[in-house]
Structure formats: structure tokens, C-alpha cells
Structure 1
């Protein structure tokens, strides 16, 4: 009797498994796609991120997997603070898909007050407290509800910048085709013009016209969406540099060039600014110098730039990430101007070497991190402003350990390692504190990095 009872249990269990498989494999028809919370955003912007439409037939398995992908794609737009997706079925094998959104605030007019040095640590250690940038920035996100962006910046102080740009992810002619256009003017009275023992060298002049550096940049470009996560892009730009610098080895003060570049990009990250899973693959070829000038130094440079970022959840609390970058410069001229290097430093730094600038002919680097989620508040509401764009927020704290490595030509192996804390909150703001060591000056230091979203058209 016991034997037969066991057989019945096994048969019944197999029946339930087969029934579950049959239910999930069964085709259902999408009856409706209901979207709520998009007070500004046009519905077509959201529907473009959904690979099916009303009337299509699909399985529950496919739908549940695709809901995860749709949520990630909508979050990557940067238009919403929160995205919730659910579905319901009925006896007629119909599915109703429900998408609930909380939009972000789209018009930002804010004062600029920032350090002009490489970062906060160099600002404190250099004790040049007049290296401050200040001004005003206007950003209109989601212009016309079509995920278009207009930016106007007026920045004075240490590094002056006057800029205007426009970006449209999907044109009216073809929703797969996007485009961007913009111009920048920079000028400085004091600037980094070289690196000595990897330390930045600052240069200034006490003259009637104190500006030693000017840069005009005008650009336009196109992007074409191959699928929901893959784009190809192209950019055409004009650059004009003029400076008044007398420093050994600096090279020509005045030069201009046209630039043409192409880029392939596959982005499957959960978030553009602080992802915890997914990957980003991009490859760029850039040609600097399309025309030879008789009265100016002729730039003739080829740049290959490959990036692969990988993010993986290791468990309920642990996360692993590696951000890798390979850059190769080919220059037919004897000298590469300091401004034209894609250096290790600035925004492409190794932790522990935040204050250094390393110009290379070629480099391959990897930033490796293991993070532990100490605290996470997925959604909280505080009724301060009466606006859900600000009153509903999230907050996460991670502890991290890292080891960043670069192989460079001609400097060899470079490494930074340490541990720290990352604080991440809504509107993709990140504040990081870490204690790190590097093998160049063999020092331990405390570093502070604050990052706000920087939207890249290209």
C-alpha cells in the first residue's frame, strides 16, 4: 500500500508539472496595453520599448521574461523614477498588460557651483580655492513628451563654458533614426597642460589678456536603432584650439581639425549610471584630421576605443562588476598634443589614482568591484513638496571592495585597490567614499567622488 501511495504522489506531481508547463506554453492574446502615469510622456515613446502589441499571441513564459526586459528598457530612458508592470488573464485566454509610471521632473534650471580641479581631493590638497566653477544650466528633458533634450549652459570661473545642444532619440521621419547637434566654447585663464610624474601640471600667465586656452567645438550626428538594445552612431565635428602656452614639449598652440567617427553600442544594463546587472558593449573608430592646413599644425590621428562593462548579481545582497576599456592612438605626426589624448584620468580614472593623469599610446584597463547591499529603501514617500516627482524616492547604500588594473604603453602595469561606501539615490545621484592604494606613488589616500547623471548623445 505504501508503495502505491508513493507512486500516486509521483504521478500527481508529474501531472502538476506538466499542467504548469502546458499553461505557460499555451498561447494567449494581448487584449490591451494600459499605461498610466505618463502625464508628459507620449504613449508612443513607451510602446516602442514593447516588442509586441494588442492582438499578438504569446505564451505566459515569454511574457514574464519580456516584462523584466521592458521594465529595464523603460528605466534606461531616464524619464521615470519608478516603473511597475503587471498583467491579468481571463477565461477567454486574453491578457491585459498594465504599466504604471511615476515620471521624473523634466525642467531643470539650477545654479552651477563645482570645483574646477580634477576632483574634490585635488581641490583640497592643492589649496587653490579660487579654482571654482559657477554659473547657470538649463535642461529641458522629455521636450514635447518625445524624449528630446535641450541643454543650455553658462559656466564661469576656472573653466568657462558656453554651450547649446539638442538631442532627439527618434525622428518624425523614422522612429529608429535619432540625431543630435550642438556647440561648445571653452576658455581658461589657468589650465592643465601636461603631466609630470603623472601629476597634473597647471599653467597660467599674468598678462593683460589672461586667457591661455580656447576651444571651439561644433558637432552633429545620427543614431540608428538596430533593435531594442543596439544602436549604431556616427558623428561629424569641427574643433579649433588656440592657446598661449610656453612650456617645453607642449607642441603647437594653434590647430584645428574636422573629426569623423562611428560607433556600435549594445546596452543591456539595468541602469545607465549605477547598474547592478546586464552589460554594455561599445566600439568606436574616430579619425581626427580630414583636411591638411598650410597655416596650422595638421592633426592626423586615428583612435580605436573599445568598452565592455559587465554587471552580475551574485546573490541576494552581493554584486560583481567589471568595466573594461581598451584605447589605441595612432598618430602619423611626431607629437600628439596634450589635449587630444584619451587619458587615464579625468572621468576615465582608476580608483586610487583619481588625482593623476596618465597619457598613453595604448592602454587596456579593468575596474573590478564586489559590492554588498547594506541598506535599501526601494520606495519611500515624504510629503514635502506635493509633487510625486520629488516626494517618492529611493535610497541604497553599498559597501564595496575593488581592484583596478591597467596595462599601458609605455608605462607598464598600473594598479589601484581599496574599499569604500557608495550611496545611490533617485535621479541617479551617487556619492562615493573610499580608501585606496596605488602602485605609482605607493600611497594610501581617502577619496570622495560625487556623480550626477551626464547624458551622452554619443
Structure 2
């Protein structure tokens, strides 16, 4: 039983976690004391051409932006790029803050995920006037991608628990057209079969008004599956498999976004979802939908707030991220669902100097539903919301708190010269960066419904370990991690992350 393991291994894990914590603190103190007060570290140092152009500027007072010249945007409309600059023609920029503003501009443009490379330089165009040159290298925007996905929660579960069974896969085609009209919009079409069937149609346009503040997203989805997790036992998913489809759902969502400031976005969403299950699932777990139901139909309304000052959204090393998402499911009395959920996340990333970086990432999930229902219950262990070292477990509950603390060091970086193999500018010279890291995670799940059969619920969970991250272009990163948890379990885990 897991409970016995918890009691028998506390001493060992306390020593291990104390050692990891001390290591993190010692490295933090070392890095801090070796960073001078005048340092202004960046993830990527200001490129040499920009540094040279800044040094060559012969201005005695705050310069005025006389012109902004953009090149390399063969498809992307110029206003989409200008929207990411925190200045416009006619603005006066402080001399002591000029490099910071230009670096922020570069980061903002790269975070649109429209460009492979971005470079800036500045030239004097008058007595106290400057011209800012922005050169972009556009990404490849059309992705007819064959789908080959695992039906399980993550790679590690598929590899260990299901003996890397290739029948537990989903195959098909995903067509993504980024920057469809040159305005940063995206069209996604998904058609997949196999262990699951899914058909998606999504269109997102970041700006629909001239001031580039309002955006629109429309989604339509249909999915059905022949295997379904209907409950959890010993903090592992209980699944039922059939030759027939056990669950079907239809969903439609419309989202209106409002970006009133450079780094802040508000989203308002309305949606409708219809879900049905076979009677077999209802018999296995009468509380799957609550009150012995076999279907749910409901409207929902949600609000999302996002503050993002991170240098790179895909792999941040500096900056702040905050997100709050509230959703009310079941808007009318005749609907058979009445729930409210609030999710929050706050992360802060620090550049300590000497190629050392520290981050903490805190997240919570709160469900105010008074119904005992398994479906749509928040929990730890799903997607990227988990304590490292507990990848094989799930903990469902009504309140979840998660903290991740990480110290990393950039080992080296280089570019691969692949022009002999792939002579396509969009994919040439992929950069590779490697980071060595140590981490400690902590989580807690407050549960009033499922704890009797899941001993990790209502217990403080901690995991720690070391790892290596590999980061490359097109927002792709691969994490290789070796973790240990409070159960005295340890193992090697692989995590892949990409924005698609």
C-alpha cells in the first residue's frame, strides 16, 4: 500500500530533499554574490551588431525615434510587427534605458511565434534622432503534420504501464496554417483515428480592429474514444476498454480577447459542450457525471487574465507570468451541471548572472462544485500540472496547490550547420542550448470525495531531482530528468514541450 511506503520512507526523503534544498540555496547565494550591482543580464546578450550600433550613436540627450524600418517580412503585415514595439515614431527614448527597450522589443516580436530570428540595430538619422531597423526571418507557416500521439497521459506512463504498446496510439493528420493572412492568424484542422477519434476546426485572429486590441477565436471539436478512465484507485487511473466508443463529446467555443497593454490580455469565452457515456461507464462509476447520469449538456462562460513579461514564452529565463482563469459551467437551471472553477498560476524567472538562472512556479486549482462527479474534476498528474517524481500518479480533488523551484546553469549553445542537407532558409542552422538543473517540487490536493481509495490525496507531496534541458527553435524543448519522491521511488523521465 502507498500509505505504508509514505511512513517508512519519510526519513530517507527528508535527508534527500534537505540536501537538494541546501544545494539550491548555496548556488543561489553563490550566483547572487557573483553578480555585480550594475549588471543587467539578458537571456540572449544584445547581439554584436546592435551593441556596435548603440556605441556608435553620438547623441547627447534622449533620442527621438525618427523612423522604424522593417525588413524580411515577406508575408507578415508590418503593423503586426509594430504592435510589439513599446515605442512608435516620434517617441523619445531614455539613453540609459535604450538597450533594455530594444531587447524587450526583440523578445516581444519573437514571442509572436511568427519568426525564426529577429535582429535590431540603431542608426543616427539627425542631431538627436535615430532610426530603428528591425530585420526578421519568417518561420515556415504551413504544417501538414502526420499525427502520431499516445493515448496515455504522458510518455512515461505509456512506456512503463502499457509496455510501449503501439496499438495505444492516435494517428491522422493535423493541418496548421500559421499567419494565414499575414496578420498573425492561425487555422488548425485535425482529423485523427485509432485509439481515439477526433476532429477539430479552430481559427484564431489576434486582432480584428484597427487599433489592434481586440481578437477573436472560434473552435469546434468532436471526439470519441474506445477506452476511458472512469475512476482512480491507489492514485492510478482505472480504465475500461471496449470495441465500441465509450464516450463522445461535441464542443463549440467563441473567445473574444482584449489586449489593452503590451503585456496584458483579457479573454471572455462562451461555449457549449455535450458529452455522453455508455451505460457500462455509468455502472462502473455512478458518480462519473454525478447522480447516476449518462450525459451532460451545458453552456459555460469564462474569463481569463494574463500578464506576461517573460523573455521567451516557450522557455523563459527572465520575467514574470501571471494567469487567472475562472469558468462557470452550467448557466441555466435546466442544465444538469452547476460548477465553478478558478485556476491561477504565478511564475517568476531570475537571471542571476554567470549563466545561472532561478525560477519558481506556483499554481492553484479550486472547484466550488458541491456535486460528487468524477468528470471535469481538477487534479494533479494531468498534462503539465504535476509534481516531478509522481508522473505515474493522479490525485483528484477540489483544491490543488503546486510549487516548482528550479535552479539551472547554461552549459553551452551552438548552431548546427545543416545547409548541405536542408537548403531551406526556414529550417537552416538550428540552434541548440543545453541547461543543467536541480529542482524541488511540492504539491497538495484537498479532497472530500475520492480520498478513501487514493492515499496520496490530502497528503503533502514532494519530489526533487536533477536534469538536462535541450532547447531549440520553433518553441521546442526536451527535458531529461531524474527524480525521487516521498515513496522512495526514483526514475528517469522524458518530457517534450512544443507550442502547436
With normalisation by structure 2, the TM-score equals: 0.81
- 1:322 aligns with 360
Q: Distance between the aligned counterparts of 1:450 and 1:59, measured in 2?
A: 41
- 1:153 aligns with 190
Note the alpha carbon deviations across 1:212-246, whole angstroms, 9 max, x for none. Answer: 01111110011101211001111101111100112
Q: Distance between the aligned counterparts of 1:120 and 1:51, measured in 2?
A: 41
Note the alpha carbon deviations across 1:300-338, whole angstroms, 9 max, x for none. Answer: 1111111101111122221111221111100133x12x2
Aligned length: 425
Q: Distance between the aligned counterparts of 2:272 and 2:469, measured in 1?
A: 38
Q: Is the 8 A contact 1:147 1:168 kept in 2?
A: yes
- 1:239 aligns with 273
- Deviation, 1:383, is 4.2
Q: Distance between the aligned counterparts of 1:196 and 1:140, measured in 2?
A: 42
Runs of 5+ unmatched residues, structure 2: 1-54, 448-457
Q: Distance between the aligned counterparts of 2:218 and 2:477, measured in 1?
A: 28
- 1:290 aligns with 331
Aligned runs of 1:196-215 on 2, under 5 Å?
196-206=233-243, 210-215=244-249
* Structure 1 pair 25–262 and aligned structure 2 pair: CA distance change class (3 A): farther
SS at structure 1 position matched to 2:396: coil
Q: Distance between the aligned counterparts of 2:340 and 2:179, measured in 1?
A: 35
- Deviation, 1:152, is 0.2
- Deviation, 1:446, is 1.5
SS at structure 2 position matched to 1:46: helix
SS at structure 2 position matched to 1:193: strand
Q: Distance between the aligned counterparts of 2:362 and 2:499, measured in 1?
A: 20
SS at structure 2 position matched to 1:61: helix
State which of 215, 221, 246 in structure 2 corresponds to 1:184.
221
- Deviation, 1:123, is 1.1
Q: Distance between the aligned counterparts of 2:118 and 2:325, measured in 1?
A: 32
Q: Distance between the aligned counterparts of 2:64 and 2:166, measured in 1?
A: 65
Q: Is the 8 A contact 1:365 1:407 kept in 2?
A: yes
- 2:320 aligns with 279
State which of 135, 143, 155 in structure 2 corresponds to 1:108.
143
Q: Distance between the aligned counterparts of 2:185 and 2:443, measured in 1?
A: 37
State which of 425, 430, 433 in structure 1 corresponds to 2:477.
430
Q: How big is the alpha-carbon RMSD for the aligned residues of Structure 1 and Structure 2?
A: 2.0
Q: Distance between the aligned counterparts of 1:388 and 1:75, measured in 2?
A: 17
State which of 81, 84, 87 in structure 1 corresponds to 2:122.
87
Q: Distance between the aligned counterparts of 2:391 and 2:240, measured in 1?
A: 20
Q: Distance between the aligned counterparts of 1:327 and 1:115, measured in 2?
A: 26
Aligned runs of 1:9-408 on 2, under 5 Å?
26-90=61-125, 92-125=127-160, 126-127=162-163, 128-172=165-209, 174-206=211-243, 210-244=244-278, 245=281, 246-248=283-285, 249-250=287-288, 251=290, 252-293=293-334, 298-333=336-371, 335-336=372-373, 338-347=374-383, 348-377=385-414, 382-408=419-445
Q: Distance between the aligned counterparts of 2:322 and 2:414, measured in 1?
A: 30
- 2:492 aligns with 446
SS at structure 2 position matched to 1:276: coil
Q: Distance between the aligned counterparts of 1:445 and 1:451, measured in 2?
A: 20
Q: Distance between the aligned counterparts of 1:175 and 1:189, measured in 2?
A: 44
Choose between structure 1 and 2: higher strand proportion.
Answer: 1
- 1:421 aligns with 468
Q: Distance between the aligned counterparts of 1:182 and 1:409, measured in 2?
A: 33
Higher relative contact order (CA 8 A, sep 6+): 2
Q: Is the 8 A contact 2:404 2:442 kept in 1?
A: yes
- Deviation, 1:93, is 1.9
Runs of 5+ unmatched residues, structure 1: 1-19
With normalisation by structure 1, the TM-score equals: 0.88
Q: Is the 8 A contact 2:146 2:172 kept in 1?
A: yes
Q: Is the 8 A contact 1:281 1:309 kept in 2?
A: yes
- 2:33 aligns with none
Q: Distance between the aligned counterparts of 2:92 and 2:210, measured in 1?
A: 29
Note the alpha carbon deviations across 1:244-271, whole angstroms, 9 max, x for none. Answer: 1121343432111111011111111111
* Structure 1 pair 383–171 and aligned structure 2 pair: CA distance change class (3 A): farther
Q: Is the 8 A contact 1:25 1:59 kept in 2?
A: no
- Deviation, 1:379, is 7.8
Q: Is the 8 A contact 1:30 1:56 kept in 2?
A: yes
SS at structure 1 position matched to 2:88: coil
- Deviation, 1:408, is 2.0
Q: Distance between the aligned counterparts of 1:321 and 1:193, measured in 2?
A: 36
Note the alpha carbon deviations across 1:65-116, whole angstroms, 9 max, x for none. Answer: 2101111111110111111111022562220111111111101001011221
Note the alpha carbon deviations across 1:150-171, whole angstroms, 9 max, x for none. Answer: 0000111112210000001010
- Deviation, 1:361, is 0.8
Q: Distance between the aligned counterparts of 2:225 and 2:102, measured in 1?
A: 49
Q: Is the 8 A contact 1:380 1:394 kept in 2?
A: no
Q: Is the 8 A contact 2:380 2:445 kept in 1?
A: no
* Structure 1 pair 257–446 and aligned structure 2 pair: CA distance change class (3 A): same
